[in-house]
Structure 1
Amino acid sequence: MHLLNLGILAHVDAGKTSLTERLLHSAGVIDEIGSVDAGSTRTDTLALERRRGITIKSAVVSFTVDDVTVNLIDTPGHPDFIAEVERVLGVLDGAVLVVSAVEGVQAQTRVLMRTLKRLRIPTLVFVNKTDRRGARYDGVLRAIAERLTPAVVPMGTVGALGTRQARFLPGVGSYDVLADHDDDLLAACVEGRVPEELLHAALVAQTRQVLVHPVYFGSAATGAGVPELVAGIGELLPAADGDPEGPVSATVFKVDRGPAGEKIAYARLFSGILRTRDRVPFGEPRAVQGAAVQRPTQQRRAHTARAEGRVTAISVFDSGTDVRQDAVPAGRIAKLWGLSGIRIGDALGEPRTAHDHFFAPPSLETVVVPAPGTDSRSLHLALTQLAEQDPLIALRQDEVRQETSVSLYGEVQKEVIQATLAEEFGFDVSFRETTPLCIERPAGTGAAVELNKKDANPFLATVGLRVDPAPVGSGVSFRLEVELGAMPYAFFKAVEDTVHESLGQGLYGWQVTDCTVTMTHCGYSPRQSHAHQGFNKSMSSTGADFRGVTPLVLVQALRRAGTLVHEPVHRFRVEAPADTLGTLLPALAALRAVPETTETRGERAGVEGAVPAARLHELEQRLPSLTRGEGELESAFDHYARITHGIVPIRPATTRKS
């Protein structure tokens, strides 16, 4: 028996969770199929998910297909929760992308397929809702080929389409795509004889190599097409790999809390065997940025030290539930207890190669407004727990104004945070208006220095810093123009860490990025003590001196360099009736959207361009009235653009970044 870690992905309301229920029922895991509308599904366990009828948190459930044990991960479909999807993608062996036969290829469907192809995750497409009025076969298949991937292999046709009697009629109808990648199959096609075994072998190999995407049609509501999809999952998608004899290596993709508040880590094991009572290192050592520092061996080891914890309990997923085990082998997904400091994205044991984010970070922000009488400490603790479960809900604490800001993907996410705080923690909160999350980039070069025991420097430390612009997207790098042996390494480390922390708020209060910070001067007062006396702190430099003076020097250097504020900009595509362009285009201009291409195909038109994130929500709200309810909007973060109009937004500075 082999393992398969399978993700179910879709645009919201395509029927992803309903398909999960049907798969569990067909495998005999559940006796009765749950309903999203009734809030009785197996994977939507949160009260808020059941009430709203949407998936917010990923959930894992297991079932068996012949000799394949499938760990199925149900993921959110709404774009506001794309971060939850991102964390799951890194642990998958294969995926099923669900498309509605009525609505067809939607905005989020395209985003997901692009990412699945980029990560080379073998994917089957399931076209759901063939029993619904308005369901289409040819139109949806054509849209999949045009908007998702041309390498589609229809696995059959549909009879009685658009009725409750709709049924899937299996049979691969086209060999062309498969023959493009298989010379033997191409020769057989030319000769007019295609052996079934040759066709099946090509289909299996090319699906696993992400050269083709088989497409099934059916209905999660009636079960039509689901047996064929289940067979495809077992035959076409690759088994989980991993060396049980190798060192322990796993990735944490979800963190939950148990009834007593204990942390529970969901992890995919890629190598080795993890047992209860094992002590395991976790977390990722932060790499040194730039070509700066070659450290002595002992200092380098200290820098890369990772947290360590003891696994106190393990559960693995089996037949629709999770069961306690003494060990978990490579390839499996497990729930782990005992790792109190664990965070989403942490590596357990041997770190795997770090990946870039698959999706863009949040581009919006709002301030939490607690009801009168709310205990601010308890509220901050609750928000911190939410941030543990979703690290992209970055918290920013303003100690002066006693305010907490959270970053967001959209308005639905804000509503979910509000409801979660009320239902799980008992806090009544509201939010201020959502604003774009801007950044600052240096306008030029600036340098500053504070000398030890000179002028008004209150710290026993010399620090000189130069700030230079760096290429867009390069982030922040820290470099040295002084000798590493000029002072203890701990002082260099204090400066580097403080630089990164201080760049969290620039001259206008926004995070500063795309710059190189170079340390140009350093100096310290050596340890002072007298015979039979202790360490004299007032005459000796400490790390606190360097952490204290660095922000002062950095702000001076930034002021001399100057910074420019940039706002987040999204790429957008609007598809609408062609006769609404006369109304749509002026409205886009009023929202500061810049249409770059416009194309008309029959009665439909497509407009692509860029729009500030600050105006995207308004565009979403206005689109139905501008297009008679027939417009479709697809958007994704694209870049940051310098603000050249109006008043430059200022973000209130804080005394501490949470």
Structure 2
Amino acid sequence: MFPIQLSLVGNQRLILSTRGRSGFIKTLPWLRHAREFASNSKDFSISKTRNIGIIAHIDAGKTTTSERMLYYAGVTKKIGDIDHGDTVMDYLAAERERGITINSAAITFGWEGHRINLIDTPGHVDFTMEVERAVRVLDGAVTVLDGVAGVEAQTETVWKQADKHSIPRIAFVNKLDRTGAAFGRTVKEMWKKLRARPLVLQLPIYAEGGHGIRGVADLVTMETVLWDPTKIDGSAFVREPLVESTDPKLWEEAVRGRTALVEALAEMDDAIVEVFFEEADGEHLAVPAIALKAALRRVTLENKAVPVLCGAAFKNVGVQPVLDAVIDYLPSPLDRPPALATMRDAKTALIPLSEVGKLCALAFKVTHDPRRGPLVYVKVYSGKLPVRATLYNTTTNHKERANKLLQMYAREAEEIPVIQAGNIGVIVGLKDTRTGDTLVLANDTQAIKSNLQLNTIEIPSPAFFAAIEPDAVSEEQAIEEALRNLTREDPSVRVWTDEESGQMLISGMGELHLDIIKDRLINDFKCKATMGKMRISYRETCQAPGVASTVYDKEVLGKKSRAGCSVTLEPTEDPSNQITIQLQEDLADSLPHLTQEDIDQAIQTGYQSGLSRGAVLGFPLAQVHVKIDKLETFGAETTLGAISASVSNSIQEALRHADPCLLEPMMEVHAEVNEHHIGSVVSDLSGTRRGHVIGLYATDDKTAVQDTEVYSPPDSLHQDVDAYKAKQVIKAHVPLSSMLGYSNSLRSLTGGNGQFSMRVIGYGAMSKDRERSVVQEMRG
């Protein structure tokens, strides 16, 4: 094979074929043609579609990698730079100002005859909801790992989110050009921290002296892939056979890595064993690359292993092979299990992917565009969604018309006539559809009658809130409209009004989340408002049983409305609230004007209303068990509204006699520190922050994973790696209120070397002194 030198010619970019074996040079068209190529339904079958996401910890290089993908695919004319604020994927003003991803942007482009729908997700813990709804509709994911920091806190979080939906993944170990980067150590951390079986497909080829990276050794094809240092955009690279005479040390490690790859695949895939003995005569190097790729695809789709690639996206090294791996190893929509849907009476059904089936689509994201209005992102699981179609929302039971269909390119869009099965697109014109809603055609009577709904998206409970006040009375309407749009865009944002103070309160996932909401209100929606001090969102419960009986008796529009209810309220250890209905008679018999289904719904509505506000500070109730002992009816005077009100009033009255108290959010904290900092960090967590230390373990603890050995290349080429020492991880349960500003404190205690992760594990009781101080603070 002859090496080929590639260059920029005129108004087109020439690159080596991504397969790199035939020496074929192809021309990629510029932006306009790339978009038409990406969205033309005639060019692609479902099997040639990839719905993928980029997931990782903040600052691991997700957006940097995404921008290179777009450039090499011919979608952009220049590589976007986060520092310069000209990235395609991070287009919001707040994203460019802070240099982080806030909004999960979607873009479509073509690569090697395939359509790739790419979603770049945030890495900050406050925007977990963005990752959750993106992962819900992805078929595969690229996990970007920082070669210096290794597997970081939020990487573990997003990995678990992908695990929940059984998303096949490949990994790209980034930033190997930086001092202290260690590819082998990062591979080991994947095995130890993520419980993922890594399969190393590449070895980094460093520049002389071990500084910087200039290419990779491909263990599948046994070739070197070297980027031309004179082409700083990384578009020119050369593939050559890897031979022992070129670099004996690299050859020796490549042979070791190829052997380990074949043996690891043989443990998980029977087909490669046959190839190994029948075609390769037991020689690891003789196993054909095409057979290895097929085996790698099978084990990846089955979530048995994770192919691992390496490079340095910022230095434009290693990104094209990642795109090849997306095509080779990640699934098409046809490779994923059928979508699961629920119907009336708790029945379930599988929705097989089919272009000729009935339409079934999931709305997974809503954004507000100043010119177009609400943009609803959908994934079509079955059938086709044509423009101007009349849709039925089985979640809200409303009809709506799809006025326009769009293919998104981050901020920009292209109008399209149809969204096919397996694809992601945007609908313009839907006013009532929200995140997690299911859409079918309005003439699909079977789906409407059975109330067919795809599994929805889990929305996390917000942990922080703040008051928001308009600067003038004339601003109230504008603020309310802006908040309606924000809560529709981001379901983890909640807005309510405090009954006692009359203040409008807004809640979110964290300090940065609320800060972004404030910025968007002022800058995007042009509202004039002031946001108050951020506070913790507590919960309330009872410490003793409480019993109450009330009768709701009011006249509504000249008609008598009456019902009575008796309830018993008890504390429980169960984190979710419980309800038990103990009625001696069928109420539908005594209330012929009401159906039993309507009565049950009215009871449920009253139950939820009663638990929505506690007796101490008005926070929602948690860890309680409600027993409805009796419902008193009064014939035609008993309405559904009266039943709901009587149940709610009885719960509120029982709570006043049940010794109410406050609960505070409890966090599971993992603080990773050097050994000589353990004492000061433990003292801070257990003393100042009122936490309880659960345990201590080392990051290289081999008992944390299975006994299976995994291959990881040595990191001896990097000068700082030998100085690496395993850190100690402190596990503790700490109140959320004590963790505010902890990142700065941990940096101070550890000289900048400590890092931590935390997640909500529930709500715990607080001391009476602490409760009194919280009540005093909240009531001013």
Class of the TM-score when normalised by the shorter of the 2 chains: 0.7 to 0.9
Tell me which residue corresponds to 2:78.
32
Cα 1:406–1:498, aligned 2, differ >3 Å: closer, same or farther? same
Match of 2:363 among 244, 249, 252: 252
1:411-450 residue pairs with structure 2 within 5 A?
Answer: 411-450=511-550
Tell me which residue corresponds to 2:737.
614
Q: Does 1:92 align with 2:92?
A: no
Tell me which residue corresponds to 2:391.
280
Cα 1:640–1:424, aligned 2, differ >3 Å: closer, same or farther? same
Match of 1:354 among 455, 458, 466: 455
Q: Does 1:182 align with 2:230?
A: no
Between 1:438-447 and 1:196-205, the stretch displaced more is 438-447
1:374-413 residue pairs with structure 2 within 5 A?
Answer: 375-413=475-513
Aligned equivalents of 1:496, 1:165: Cα separation in 2: 62
Match of 1:497 among 599, 605, 624: 605
Aligned equivalents of 2:126, 2:69: Cα separation in 1: 26
Q: Does 1:579 align with 2:666?
A: no
1:161-310 residue pairs with structure 2 within 5 A?
Answer: 163-172=211-220, 173=257, 174-175=260-261, 176-185=263-272, 192-194=282-284, 195-196=287-288, 197-241=290-334, 242-260=353-371, 262-284=373-395, 306-310=397-401
Size of the aligned set, in residue pairs, is 618
1:36-75 residue pairs with structure 2 within 5 A?
Answer: 36-75=82-121
Tell me which residue corresponds to 1:520.
629
Aligned equivalents of 1:260, 1:447: Cα separation in 2: 55
Confirm or deny: 8 A CA contact 1:459 1:549 kept in the other structure: no
Please list the CA deviations of residues 53-98 of structure 1 after superposition, one character each: whole Å capped at 9, or x if unmatched: 1111111101112232010011111111111111111100000011
Cα 1:158–1:645, aligned 2, differ >3 Å: closer, same or farther? farther
Aligned equivalents of 1:124, 1:453: Cα separation in 2: 63
Match of 2:403 among 309, 312, 317: 312
Match of 1:368 among 468, 472, 480: 468
Confirm or deny: 8 A CA contact 1:29 1:319 kept in the other structure: no
In the TM superposition, what is the alpha-carbon distance from 1:313 to its structure 2 partner? Answer: 1.5
Cα 1:120–1:477, aligned 2, differ >3 Å: closer, same or farther? same
In the TM superposition, what is the alpha-carbon distance from 1:577 to its structure 2 partner? Answer: 1.5
Tell me which residue corresponds to 2:150.
104
In the TM superposition, what is the alpha-carbon distance from 1:283 to its structure 2 partner? Answer: 4.9
The one-letter code matched in structure 2 to 1:638 is I
Confirm or deny: 8 A CA contact 1:120 1:210 kept in the other structure: yes
Cα 1:478–1:497, aligned 2, differ >3 Å: closer, same or farther? farther
In terms of fraction of residues, the more helix-rich structure is 2
Tell me which residue corresponds to 1:127.
173
CA RMSD of aligned residues (A): 2.8
Tell me which residue corresponds to 1:460.
562
In the TM superposition, what is the alpha-carbon distance from 1:543 to its structure 2 partner? Answer: 4.1
In the TM superposition, what is the alpha-carbon distance from 1:476 to its structure 2 partner? Answer: 4.3
The one-letter code matched in structure 1 to 2:379 is R
Confirm or deny: 8 A CA contact 1:252 1:346 kept in the other structure: yes
Tell me which residue corresponds to 1:552.
649
Confirm or deny: 8 A CA contact 1:244 1:271 kept in the other structure: yes
Tell me which residue corresponds to 2:244.
none
In the TM superposition, what is the alpha-carbon distance from 1:393 to its structure 2 partner? Answer: 0.8
Confirm or deny: 8 A CA contact 1:15 1:220 kept in the other structure: yes
Cα 1:332–1:32, aligned 2, differ >3 Å: closer, same or farther? same
Aligned equivalents of 1:131, 1:139: Cα separation in 2: 15
In the TM superposition, what is the alpha-carbon distance from 1:226 to its structure 2 partner? Answer: 1.2
Between 1:332-341 and 1:173-182, the stretch displaced more is 173-182
In the TM superposition, what is the alpha-carbon distance from 1:126 to its structure 2 partner? Answer: 0.8
Between 1:156-165 and 1:21-30, the stretch displaced more is 156-165
Cα 1:19–1:569, aligned 2, differ >3 Å: closer, same or farther? same
Please give the secondary structure, in 2, of the residue aligned with 1:474.
coil
Cα 1:502–1:633, aligned 2, differ >3 Å: closer, same or farther? same
Please give the secondary structure, in 2, of the residue aligned with 1:512.
coil
Confirm or deny: 8 A CA contact 2:88 2:410 kept in the other structure: no
Confirm or deny: 8 A CA contact 1:467 1:561 kept in the other structure: yes
Please give the secondary structure, in 1, of the residue aligned with 2:156.
helix
Aligned equivalents of 2:570, 2:664: Cα separation in 1: 21
The one-letter code matched in structure 1 to 2:415 is R
Aligned equivalents of 2:158, 2:553: Cα separation in 1: 58
Between 1:638-647 and 1:608-617, the stretch displaced more is 638-647
Aligned equivalents of 1:313, 1:204: Cα separation in 2: 37
Tell me which residue corresponds to 1:12.
58
Please list the CA deviations of residues 474-507 of structure 1 after superposition, one character each: whole Å capped at 9, or x if unmatched: 3344635141313224455334313212311122
Cα 1:555–1:459, aligned 2, differ >3 Å: closer, same or farther? farther
The one-letter code matched in structure 2 to 1:434 is M
Please give the secondary structure, in 2, of the residue aligned with 1:584.
helix
Q: What TM-score comes out, normalization by structure 1 length?
A: 0.87
Please give the secondary structure, in 2, of the residue aligned with 1:552.
helix
Tell me which residue corresponds to 2:337.
none
In the TM superposition, what is the alpha-carbon distance from 1:268 to its structure 2 partner? Answer: 0.5
Match of 2:694 among 596, 605, 610: 596
Q: What TM-score comes out, normalization by structure 2 length?
A: 0.74
Q: Does 1:339 align with 2:430?
A: yes
Match of 1:569 among 666, 671, 681: 666
Tell me which residue corresponds to 1:484.
587
Please give the secondary structure, in 1, of the residue aligned with 2:650.
helix
Please give the secondary structure, in 2, of the residue aligned with 1:646.
helix
Between 1:88-97 and 1:397-406, the stretch displaced more is 397-406
Please give the secondary structure, in 2, of the residue aligned with 1:460.
strand
Aligned equivalents of 2:430, 2:778: Cα separation in 1: 34
Aligned equivalents of 1:134, 1:221: Cα separation in 2: 16
In the TM superposition, what is the alpha-carbon distance from 1:371 to its structure 2 partner? Answer: 3.9
Please list the CA deviations of residues 279-332 of structure 1 after superposition, one character each: whole Å capped at 9, or x if unmatched: 2221537xxxxxxxxxxxxxxxxxxxx222122221235899642223222111
Confirm or deny: 8 A CA contact 2:139 2:331 kept in the other structure: yes
Identity %: 26
In the TM superposition, what is the alpha-carbon distance from 1:353 to its structure 2 partner? Answer: 4.4
Aligned equivalents of 1:113, 1:491: Cα separation in 2: 43
Confirm or deny: 8 A CA contact 2:464 2:510 kept in the other structure: yes
Aligned equivalents of 2:549, 2:730: Cα separation in 1: 52
Please list the CA deviations of residues 502-524 of structure 1 after superposition, one character each: whole Å capped at 9, or x if unmatched: 31112222211344434433344
In the TM superposition, what is the alpha-carbon distance from 1:158 to its structure 2 partner? Answer: 0.7
Tell me which residue corresponds to 2:576.
474
Aligned equivalents of 1:160, 1:234: Cα separation in 2: 27
In the TM superposition, what is the alpha-carbon distance from 1:115 to its structure 2 partner? Answer: 2.2
Between 1:481-490 and 1:99-108, the stretch displaced more is 481-490
Tell me which residue corresponds to 2:192.
146
Aligned equivalents of 2:498, 2:643: Cα separation in 1: 23
Cα 1:554–1:603, aligned 2, differ >3 Å: closer, same or farther? closer
Please list the CA deviations of residues 509-547 of structure 1 after superposition, one character each: whole Å capped at 9, or x if unmatched: 2211344434433344445xxxxxxxxxxxx44444344
The one-letter code matched in structure 2 to 1:55 is T
The one-letter code matched in structure 1 to 2:147 is A
In the TM superposition, what is the alpha-carbon distance from 1:227 to its structure 2 partner? Answer: 1.6
Please give the secondary structure, in 1, of the residue aligned with 2:102.
coil
